[in-house]
Amino acid sequence: MPDLLYPPVIGLARTWFKALDLRFDIHGTHHVPRRGGAVLVSNHISYLDFIFTGLAARPAKRLVRFMAKESVFRHKVSGPLMRAMKHIPVDRRRGEDAYAHALGALRSGEVIGVFPEATISRSFALKDFKSGAARLAQEARVPLVPMALWGTQRLWTKGHRRDFGRNHIPVGIRVGEPLPAGDGESPLTVTERLRDRVHELLEAAQRAYPASPEGPADSWWLPAHLGGTAPTPAEARAL
């Protein structure tokens, strides 16, 4: 069945990016396979990360099917859109259904988008990864494609009001070389390697980021270990 809705939604998103005058710094999109299944794995710092993760796959002309919490599919507006774009609902009480759905999509040659931290990182530092992405890649025999986002938290994130009025916000996107899922390796070992690679990409995006906080009141989006006032990982866990 053809994707009738997904391409127009992408076009609308690009128009919105231009209206916001976002400044993109994107590297490594050639690592996204042009054909065949793959698991695209990103850090998670914003409610909008799925849009920017999907943007990284566009040079390869791929449409990413994201795994998202089931409540999004029940919403009267987002639900029909998510289903029409063939994203995958995740009911945490019945995770095996989402897993089987994603596995079938991978085996049919789709790119699946996964945020293995499961929820947004309030500290903007990398959290522990769930092993589901590695298990999917191993069972489907497809590569894991690591990537990192930076700057998206300034637009809309947990615990802060969305800010779509501030123009010229830089958004960094880094995509790394595909990682083999590792025949014979445990999913936990593969997950550790994957997390290390995403961490490297995140640090590269942070080093290249061209903006700094505009005073103490604006330092909320910078992690504590980089001198900002975002919660530490321990404080974020308490929240």
Q: Tell me, what amino acid is at 103?
A: L
Q: Which of 178, 143, 172 is nearest to 155 (CA)?
A: 172
The arithmetic mean of pLDDT across residues 141-161, rounded, is 97
pLDDT over 80 at 1, yes or no: no
Distance between CA atoms of 94 and 190, rounded to whole angstroms?
24
For the cut 90, the answer to whether the pLDDT of residue 166 exceeds it is no
Q: How confident is the model at residue 168 (pLDDT cuts 50, 70, 90)?
A: confident
Percent of the chain at pLDDT > 90 equals 86
Residue 72: predicted pLDDT: 87
How many domains does the structure of the chain reveal?
A: 1
pLDDT at residue 68 above 60? yes
In a domain, 18, yes or no: no
Q: Is residue 2 one of the residues assigned to a domain?
A: no
* Residue 122 within a domain: yes
Q: Which of 77-91, 110-124, 127-141 has the weakest average pLDDT?
A: 77-91
Q: For residue 113, give both structure tokens.
A: 């988008």
In the 8-state DSSP scheme, what is residue 129?
A: P
Has residue 11 been placed in a domain?
no
So what's the pLDDT on residue 140? 97
pLDDT at residue 218 above 80? yes
Q: What percent of the chain shows pLDDT beyond 70?
A: 99
Task: Tell me the average pLDDT across 48-56.
Answer: 96
Distance CA 227, CA 180 (A): 35
Residue 4 lies in a domain: no
Q: Is pLDDT at 212 greater than 90 in this prediction?
A: yes
Q: Which amino acid is at 198?
A: V
Q: Which residues pair with 170 in a beta bridge?
A: 23
User: Rounded to two decimals, what is the model's pTM?
Assistant: 0.95
In the sheet that holds 38-42, the strands lie side by side as: 23-27, 170-175, 144-150, 38-42, 111-114, 64-69, 88-90
- The answer to whether 49 touches 42, Cβ cutoff 8 Å, is yes
Is 111 part of any domain? yes
Give, in degrees to the nearest 5, the angle at Cα 120 between 105 and 15: 70
Per-residue pLDDT at 138: 97
Count of helices and strands (H, E) across the chain: 8, 7
Q: What CATH code is carried by the domain that includes residue 155?
A: 3.40.1130.10
CA distance linking residue 218 with residue 229, whole number of Å: 9
- The predicted model gives 158-171 an average pLDDT of 90
Distance of CA 167 to the CA centre of its chain: 22
Q: Which of 13-22, 93-102, 200-209 has the weakest average pLDDT?
A: 93-102
User: Is 88 a member of any domain?
Assistant: yes
pLDDT, the chain, mean: 94
Assign 218 to helix, strand or coil: helix
Residue 10 lies in a domain: no
Output phi, psi for 148, to 5 deg.
-140, 145
Average pLDDT of 81-99?
A: 89
pLDDT, mean of residues 231-236: 96
The yes-or-no verdict on residue 197 having pLDDT over 90 is yes
**Boundaries of domain holding 116:** 24-238
